Chains A and B, each alone.
Chain A
Amino acid sequence: MKSIAAPTFEWLQLAPVLTILLAACLGIVIEAVLPRRLRFLAQIGLFEVAIGVAFAFLVISWRQPEHSQGLLAMGSISLDGPTYLMWGALLVFGLLALLVFSERDLDNGATAFAASAASVPGSPAEAEANSARHEHSEVFPLAMFSLAGMLVFVAANDLITAFVALEVMSLPLYLLSGMARKRRLLSQEAALKYFLLGALSSAFFLFGMALVYGFSGSFQLSAINDAIANPVYGRGLLFTGIALLAIGLLFKIGAVPFHNWVPDVYVGAPTPVTSFMAICTKLAAIGATLRVFFVAFGAERWTWQPLLATVAVLTMGIGVVVALTQTDMKRLLAYSSISHAGFILVAVVGATAGVTGQVNSFGSILFYLVAYGFATIAAFAIVTMVRDSAGEVHAISGWAGLGRKHPWLAGIFALLMLSFAGIPLTGGFIGKWAVFSAAWRGGYSWLVVAAVAFSLVAAYVYLRVIVTMFFAEPALGVGVGKASGMTWVPVVLGAVASAYLGLFPGPLLDLVTSASTFLR
């Protein structure tokens, strides 16, 4: 008779995830028990402490002698170098984005979120909530739940865990997207669009899982890899499954042709939420894609590389070309984020494995994401600061002449644009270099040439913004709001990181290359 082993659970190694989940639950309790005026500050304190503690746990577990790598929680979480690095990046970027969430000085003591999201826009109920200065401090636990989902998503070692994590990460985001204080109808439309398309993509993911299970008889990534090596069934099931899983993942990444939600959602969502999605969601989705494709489908890469190469070319091309024509800053940043997804996919296609001391696909992508993440959060934080009497100014024409009136802020924004464009001496350049070299060494030099051509178009996109800010006559009535440290910290950190990573990329590169092999 087989004895039933008690499930194992590695508390210390899983502590970062558990801390964030616990904090999210505590946040809900705060909503229930604390008086209204204390909630906001309590939530801010809670997320700051929680992310700090989670990060501390991460460092402690990283510094364990044997690196404490391995499969956790009965094989459903894979704790390896990439997991540690992505957890660290997610926690840092989550913290920065949540800081932008908590800004209240820009809009006369109100946050960027609706006073009462349930009230009909323009109704007396809305006006009443506004005048009573209500606010939704629930946004913090929602974001924390989403962050917890992301942490699990990038570490999931089986497809079921990945799917659950995907939903935990997505559902709060659907809600958060619809909670903008200004332009509420647009925001609600964005939320609905995001939800419907997101649900559809989840369905694709689920269907893909089922087919891959049918082929391999397992949800475990390594078992799927083994099944590919010794197939029992025909490969039709596998190919269809890979394609459907790819659709689900590429949707979250925002790759063409599954990118249509990105501009609408980025524009409609409250800007702090956009900054959170632009980096954290993207990082989580790309991390999970890398794990699924490299670990589970690594043996089948000759099949998916050409497919992803096509997607990468389309994503870069449509991202940069459509960005050329944008007149709205948030839309421009949305298309820019699509094109960055394309540049990252270039390295995914390369699929170069780790050699000691050299940058491989994962390392290059993580470096790119870190450089892009700091710049992105700072860019969106600056978007929240550029205002006129009606709120944030999104029209690029409204940013005209910002360099004359606020040279420092415009200078920082120009630096971020240069980093996006991949101009040398910024972090963006080193990131581009790294992902392109990963693709070249994977045998995709033609893809590098294509990517370089699209980089030129992309450079023009960002230059246009710089020209408008510095060389155009100042727009009337537009100014920079007086923000608190909550916004300034991400802005200054983004600028410093963009310059630092461009000048001294060595330490971060060493870190990402030292721990860039996925556990199988």
Chain B
Amino acid sequence: MTFPWLTFLGLAPLLGAAVLCLPLKHAARWVGMAFALITAVIGLVIGGLYLAGQTFVERAPWIPAFGAGWAVGLDGMALVMVLLTVLLVPVVLLAEWRVGGGGRWSPQVFFALVLALESLSIFTFMAEDVLLFYLFFEATLIPMYFLIGGFGGPKRAYAAVKFLLFSLAGGLIMLASVIGIYAWSVQATGAPTYLLSELQQLQIDPMLGRWLMLGFLVAFIVKAPMVPVHTWLPTATEQATPGSSVLLVGILDKIGTFGMIRFCLGLFPEASTWVAPVMIGLALVSIIYGAIAAIGSSDLLRLVAYTSISHFGFMVLGIYTFTSVGISGSIFYMVNHGFSTAALFLVIGFLISRRGSAAVADFGGVQKLAPVLAGVFLMAGLSGLALPGMSSFVSEFMVLAGAWSAIPWVGAVASLGTVLAAVYILLMYQRTMTGPVTPAVAEHFTRDATASEKWVIGPLLAVILLLGFLPNIALNVIEPTAHQTMSIVGIADPVAPLGGEAK
């Protein structure tokens, strides 16, 4: 038997969380960081082995009565999401080294919760069994809930409950579908199964398939917040610490778009094409609405949340226009958005820690006092608006190219989102960083970026630029998943018209 790399990878941070339950005093943060780094190394090793051609499939019996088993595996999409997770966590821990205080919980609890969350998210991405996926999908809510409620701003308890109730509502609707899948598989084969690869072989009554698919889709729409069920996200990011917001928006919300590809398209291709027009409509609304709301936001953290809603619109658009390039772009977008939002949230976190406020109006002229901070803020922002050279440009371009080739007018409307993105990012930069130095800003911005802050942002910007110039590193891994999804859905890529002479 080969070494169970994936299980090992997922359990490593969980072990770290367990160790952090011991009274470790001042060593706790170092221990937590050590586990996060070990996990990142294991993740990179697995990535290397994957590129070297090794396949990862781990199976063990678990609940035979339900037809559920311990089934984890890796495909391209899962691999990039796992790598995103294991790389972001150490950065977040470093950024939140001084978390807590003011009646909030201790850093040790924060580190333990983050590691527990990391473990559960990794398993969510790797699960190849529907029930297993559902379990981890729901279980990630609990550490996230405590991360918001235990460490956030003054209205953190409210924000945490709002987050949890929205997510649970979606999750419970999905539970009905999960149970429906059980009943369906018993009916179709006589023995229950939850294994994705076995379910994909079964025939399904179209009507039942649509209902079951909708149960999954509702959960994923809430998770990757799309208008009109997005309202929990700005509340959560406004109250949570920037580090928690990175985990929430950068990793957890991706489970929504990840799930659409893996479960909605993977299990119910017919129903997914049936629902596609609605999803494209929702995606366009999210792109435009999120961007406009971001322009109007007076709070930096809310602003980033709204930009994310706009970005999630792009990802969903890429998925439901059913082109290989669109789906590849969408998956790549998930990764890039994770890094660029992380950079944006964390820089804003540094700004807030100095100014003591997240209101746009409380800043002004910062670039004169803290040029390095302002510079990385601009870089992070430009990554958010998908400037060429940044990784997000590649993915956004791919999504739009896919949309243009499938339904041109949709591509046209979505392109408006990129214009609006330039508006919200540059306006934000202009209002906070340029202009005259206000007295309050002069009083608070006494030092530029510290060494540890540079260590937080440096790697993130490096990854963004690296993937921007060499996107094929990721795309080579992602594209097989996209092609496989397309073949399951059974739609051929639209052939680009070659112009007048091609007839």
**Given A357-B65, A453-B172, A506-B61, 14 further pairs, Cβ under 8 A:** A357-B64, A423-B141, A423-B142, A433-B131, A460-B165, A467-B161, A471-B149, A471-B150, A471-B156, A471-B157, A471-B160, A472-B157, A506-B62, A506-B64
- Which of A441, A452, A467 is within 8 Å of B157, CB to CB? A467
A324 located at the interface, meaning its Cβ lies under 8 Å from any Cβ of chain B in the complex: no
Residues A452 and B135 in contact, CB atoms below 8 Å apart: no
Q: Which residues of B contact A (CB under 8 A)?
A: 61-66, 131, 134-139, 141-142, 146, 149-150, 156-157, 160-161, 164-165, 168-169, 172-173, 175-176, 178-180, 182-183, 186, 191-192
Residues B139 and A423 in contact, CB atoms below 8 Å apart: yes
Closest residue on chain B to residue A363 by CB atoms: B65
**In the assembly, what is the distance between CA of A432 and CA of B171, in Å?**
14
Residues B179 and A359 in contact, CB atoms below 8 Å apart: no
Q: How far is the CB of A449 from chain B (nearest CB, A)?
A: 5
Residues A456 and B139 in contact, CB atoms below 8 Å apart: no
- Which chain B positions have C-beta within 8 A of A506? 61-65
Closest residue on chain B to residue A509 by CB atoms: B65
The listed residue with most A CB atoms (<10 A of its CB), out of B65, B150, B156, is B65
- Which chain A positions have C-beta within 8 A of B65? 357-359, 363, 506, 509-510, 513
A437 located at the interface, meaning its Cβ lies under 8 Å from any Cβ of chain B in the complex: yes
Residues A424 and B134 in contact, CB atoms below 8 Å apart: yes
Closest residue on chain A to residue B211 by CB atoms: A445
Residues A436 and B63 in contact, CB atoms below 8 Å apart: no
- Which of A437, A463, A513 is within 8 Å of B183, CB to CB? A437
Query: Known: A467-B149, A509-B66. Is A418-B175 also a contact (CB below 8 A)?
Result: no
Query: Known: A358-B65, A425-B135. Is A433-B183 also a contact (CB below 8 A)?
Result: no
The 8 A CB mask of A345-365 against B (1 = contact, 0 = none) is: 000000000000111000100
Residues B66 and A359 in contact, CB atoms below 8 Å apart: yes
**In the assembly, what is the distance between CA of A224 and CA of B327, in Å?**
62
The 8 A CB mask of A440-468 against B (1 = contact, 0 = none) is: 11000100110011011001100100010
Q: How far is the CB of B130 from chain A (nearest CB, A)?
A: 12
21 examples of A-B residue contacts, CB within 8 angstroms: A359-B66, A424-B139, A430-B63, A433-B178, A433-B179, A436-B175, A437-B179, A440-B183, A441-B186, A445-B180, A453-B172, A455-B172, A456-B172, A460-B165, A463-B164, A467-B157, A470-B149, A472-B157, A506-B62, A506-B65, A513-B65
- Which of B138, B161, B183 is within 8 Å of A441, CB to CB? B183
Residues B180 and A440 in contact, CB atoms below 8 Å apart: yes
Closest residue on chain B to residue A448 by CB atoms: B176
Closest residue on chain A to residue B191 by CB atoms: A357
Closest residue on chain A to residue B140 by CB atoms: A424
- Which chain B positions have C-beta within 8 A of A472? 157
**In the assembly, what is the distance between CA of A441 and CA of B67, in Å?**
15
Sort A-B residue pairs by CB-CB distance and give the 4 closest, nearest first.
Answer: A424-B135, A471-B157, A424-B138, A509-B65
A174 located at the interface, meaning its Cβ lies under 8 Å from any Cβ of chain B in the complex: no
Q: How far is the CB of A371 from chain B (nearest CB, A)?
A: 14
**In the assembly, what is the distance between CA of A429 and CA of B132, in Å?**
12
Q: How far is the CB of B284 from chain A (nearest CB, A)?
A: 29
Residues B161 and A423 in contact, CB atoms below 8 Å apart: no
**In the assembly, what is the distance between CA of A467 and CA of B149, in Å?**
8
Query: Known: A425-B135, A471-B157. Is A448-B179 also a contact (CB below 8 A)?
Result: yes
**In the assembly, what is the distance between CA of A463 and CA of B131, in Å?**
24
- Which chain A positions have C-beta within 8 A of B183? 437, 440-441, 445
Q: How far is the CB of A382 from chain B (nearest CB, A)?
A: 19
**In the assembly, what is the distance between CA of A471 and CA of B178, in Å?**
33
Residues A459 and B165 in contact, CB atoms below 8 Å apart: yes
Closest residue on chain B to residue A364 by CB atoms: B65
A391 located at the interface, meaning its Cβ lies under 8 Å from any Cβ of chain B in the complex: no
- Which chain A positions have C-beta within 8 A of B62? 504, 506
Residues A470 and B165 in contact, CB atoms below 8 Å apart: no
A121 located at the interface, meaning its Cβ lies under 8 Å from any Cβ of chain B in the complex: no
